[in-house]
Amino acid sequence: MDLVLDATAGNRHMWGGDKEPDNVIFMDKEKGLFYPPTLFATWEYLPFRKDVIKKGIFDPPHIFSETSMFNKNPGARPNGCKKIPGWYGAFPSKRAAIHAILKAQKEFARICPELFFKWNIASLDIDPVLTLFVDWDVVVMVPFRSRGEKPSTWWVKMARKHGGT
């Protein structure tokens, strides 16, 4: 079974009923989560050797304002809440987001050959964000409609480019 790193685990919402699969390392920098991570670290510096991890999952914050209405209640829980809980995080600016995502994609390219990237277009469309993944080839993009008529969330499967980091 391939070893998977969920580098932005939060409270493991995407994992449905099985919040503790045997082959997944849950990583986050947040303390006090309902499901604590396996490892406290940030995705800017992934603490793994090359190719120990076979698949990475990267779901960074999608908001560019730490004072956003979505970030005012860090104690919120996802079930039944109307706002995005504070522990989902936010970048202070688009510039900070670009810098962090560029750095993170290089780290993922260093440690794993396959990456699953999740992006919500709340503050920025998917296309400019994908240009930041210079060490990766897009294999497939899957749209999800979480609000309105058009897709608002995308899952993107990527493969590390040959000769990558």
Q: What is residue 78's predicted lDDT score, i.e. its pLDDT?
A: 47
Is 35 a residue whose pLDDT tops 70? Answer: yes
Q: What is residue 113's predicted lDDT score, i.e. its pLDDT?
A: 97
Q: What is residue 32's predicted lDDT score, i.e. its pLDDT?
A: 80
Note the pLDDT tens digit of each residue in 108-117.
Answer: 999 999 999 9
In percent, the amount of the chain with pLDDT more than 70 equals: 79
Instruction: Show the domains of the chain with their CATH numbers.
Output: 4-62+89-160 (3.40.50.150)
End-to-end, the C-alpha distance of the chain in Å comes to 24
Note the pLDDT tens digit of each residue in 53-104.
Answer: 999 999 998 777 655 544 444 554 444 444 444 445 677 788 888 999 999 9
The mean pLDDT value for 120-149 works out to 87
Model confidence, pTM:
0.83
DSSP string computed for 67-125: TSGGGS-TT--STT-SS--GGG---SSHHHHHHHHHHHHHHHHHH-SEEEEEEETTSS-
| Phi and psi, residue 102, nearest 5° | -60, -45
> Residue 147 — very low, low, confident or very high, per pLDDT cuts 50/70/90?
low
CA–CA distance, 64 with 94 (Å, rounded to integer): 6
In percent, the amount of the chain with pLDDT more than 90 equals: 47
Using CA atoms of 123, 146, 30, 44 in order, give the dihedral in degrees to the nearest 10: -50
CA distances from 88 to 4, 19, 30 (A): 21, 17, 9
